[in-house]
Chain A
Amino acid sequence: MSEPRTLIDKLWAAHEITRREDGAALLWVDRHYVHEGSFHAFSQMKARGRSIAEPGLTFGVADHYVPTRARAAGIADPEIAAMVRNFEANATDHHITLFGLRDPRQGIVHVVGPEQGLTLPGLLIVCGDSHTSTHGAFGAYAFGIGASEVAHVLMTQTLWQKKPKRMRITVDGKTAPGVAAKDIALAVIARVHADGAQGHAIEFAGGAIRALSMEGRLTLCNMSIEAGGRCGMVAPDATTFAYLKGRPYAPKGADFDRAVEAWSVLASDADAAFDREVSLDGGAIAPIVTWGTTPDDALPVDGRAPDPARETNEARQKYVREALDYMGIAPGTKLTDIAIDRVFIGSCTNARIEDLRAAAAVLAGRVSKVPGLVSPGSSLVKKQAEEEGLDRIFRDAGLEWADSGCSMCVGINGDIVPAGQRCASTTNRNFRGRQGPGSRTHLMSPAMVAAAAVSGHLADVRPLLAGRKP
């Protein structure tokens, strides 16, 4: 009998080309996604006079800098226009498949990869973006890398890595109506803290995880990095296979059936050991919002902002005081008393079709009290939402229906929250200045953002769902 293995053990073993004495292993990379921000890596490669080792395994997606408004008119900012042009030229010169600004499949890389069936179970996937953890939702080993590593993958299709420790996060029970994958993610982060999973590969398990759709699992794995974990994963199952069947780049016909057979063994063995185990009761999770400047500053929406005077640790006291000061929130404020200035629905975390449906279910027949932007996760998600009439619901509520890109999550395409303003947002980071210098971000699920929009302040979505199909 061989030693029982976890999912990450199996994924690691399938990709290990060689291992050095110091423990570093050379891993084979199955998919490499690049975006406009990957220009440092292309420069490094050019400086060495090299080209891409495996153009057929490298895919370019324009998402970080692309405009989400008036796209037909071109890009107004000359610096950004040059970046997108440079990226598209790099893709053409190196013969890689490009989902460029004018491609009907364009969108956020972490939405497009799964949507196109490029992301599959059992693959090792990298991208110069920390939210590459998203793709782990399929039972892939997927993680973000920096420019030097991007350059290395471009030139060799391999990467030197040290094997991460194994951490299992089990969420059992059944989540209540109005509680979304985002709430599970924020509950997990609040529990393990923003650096709790550093050095670990997270595997999400348990009944509440199994019950999640692919969209929900993508949201959850996306947020692994906000707990410090470079990758998060869910073992593939019937939900995974049903999602993948018929996707453009997924195996077809008999090849698909054979692939499913191979993917079906990608689960942790029953008695496999993890370096760390955490469990949560899914039934006890309430809708959550963040109050501070790291994603672990997360509390159930019926709670109150902390009071530094009640913190016992001096460093913690200082942190809480500074975070509340930046956020413009008085100590002990009821979270539902916090008025907002705008909302944003978008990002690789929460802009898939199911997310838009969840927000629309709350907004239908209601009006937003604040302005807001809705940026679908991909151009195909946008099209589908329009076919379902969701765009009308957003527009009728007074929100702006825009094109797809990273948009107001990272604020580098010009979509920013003005200084001092407060935004209820479906994104992944409430860091200082993340959505623009001086911006104040509260993270929550799409339905909770919709609830905040129609209320004008942070609000519990559950009463607003009464009599509606969530």
Chain B
Amino acid sequence: MEKFVRLAAKACPLPQPNLNTDQILPARFLKWPRSRGLGQVLFHDLRRDGDGKERPDFPLNQPVYRNAKILLAGRNFGGGSSREAAVYAIHDHGFRCVIAPSFGDIFAQNAVKNGLLTAIVSETDVAELAAAVAADPERSLTVDLDKQTITCGNRSYGFAIDPVSRNQLINGWDDVDLTESYRARIQAFRTEDRLLRPWATPART
């Protein structure tokens, strides 16, 4: 799995709250295989008008933010549908970190599995970071997962992430490989569980 340790990159502010996964990747793109390039349809309906033309006021359409690797987002980012393709779209556009006051639970879990860091900061801090970036879009932010800090110029902000996600990102752990190492324990559980909860097996198989 892709690791995340430290990142120094430009950031793009996108402060509106509740940018759910339907906004990140509208449902009609869900049938696309990932190889078709989900990054190009990231935020499609916010980014483009009904005729497919880019809306100039949408931050990602401004040349200065096109190569940003950090997204500065609003509260409840990635709520709603469990579509992991929303994470693929963000990742394949080039982002490696989203900073927001809160994230949808399923989105946050999907993000970790794809090496995308979801860093939780306060509403005030994200607003300050967004203001600093808006004032100087060329500036780089440094995100350090080990120290759990975001550095912007001479200011440093702490961020929260649950320790399980932090461990997985820093180590680049692959869940399936890790689970394999517990194979014997899983088998023992399964055998005992069938005796303890016989009703859990579907009656008609």
Contact = CB atoms under 8 A, between A and B. Distances in A.
B113 A149 contact: yes
B199 A432 contact: no
Contacts of B190: 28, 157
A15 B170 CA distance: 27
A404 B18 CA distance: 30
Interface of B: 16-18, 20, 22-23, 26-28, 30-31, 33-34, 45, 50, 75-76, 79-85, 87, 102-106, 109-110, 113-114, 162-164, 167, 175-176, 178-180, 182, 185-186, 189-190, 193, 197-205
A162 B164 contact: yes
Contact of A146 (B45, B109, B167): B109
Contacts of B163: 22-23
Given A194-B79, A228-B76, A255 B198 contact: yes
A26 B27 CA distance: 31
A433 B45 contact: yes
Contacts of B18: 194-195, 293-294, 319
A185 B75 CA distance: 22
Interface in A22-69: 22-24, 26, 28, 30-31, 37, 40, 43, 48, 50, 56-57, 65
A249 interface: yes
Contacts of A18: 182, 185
B82 A129 contact: yes
A128 B190 CA distance: 23
A28 B186 CA distance: 8
B50 to A, nearest CB: 7
Interface string A170-211: 000000000000000000000000110011000000000000
Interface stretch (A115-123, A328-336, A342-350, A351-359): A115-123
A162 B30 CA distance: 28
Given A198-B104, A412-B31, A23 B164 contact: yes
A446 to B, nearest CB: 22
Given A14-B197, A17-B182, 14 more contacts: A20-B164, A56-B201, A80-B31, A130-B82, A146-B87, A146-B113, A148-B110, A152-B175, A157-B186, A195-B79, A199-B105, A228-B104, A248-B203, A319-B18
A120 B22 contact: no
Interface of A: 14, 17-18, 20, 22-24, 26, 28, 30-31, 37, 40, 43, 48, 50, 56-57, 65, 79-80, 83, 97, 117-118, 120, 122-123, 128-130, 143-149, 151-152, 155-158, 160, 162, 194-195, 198-199, 225, 228, 230, 248-252, 255-256, 258-259, 262-263, 293-294, 315, 318-319, 322, 410-412, 419, 429, 431-434, 437-438
Query: Counting chain B CB atoms within 10 Å of each CB, which of A117, A157, A228 scores highest?
Result: A228
Contacts of B80: 130, 225, 429, 431
A32 to B, nearest CB: 12
B109 A149 contact: yes
B204 A412 contact: no
A43 B34 CA distance: 11
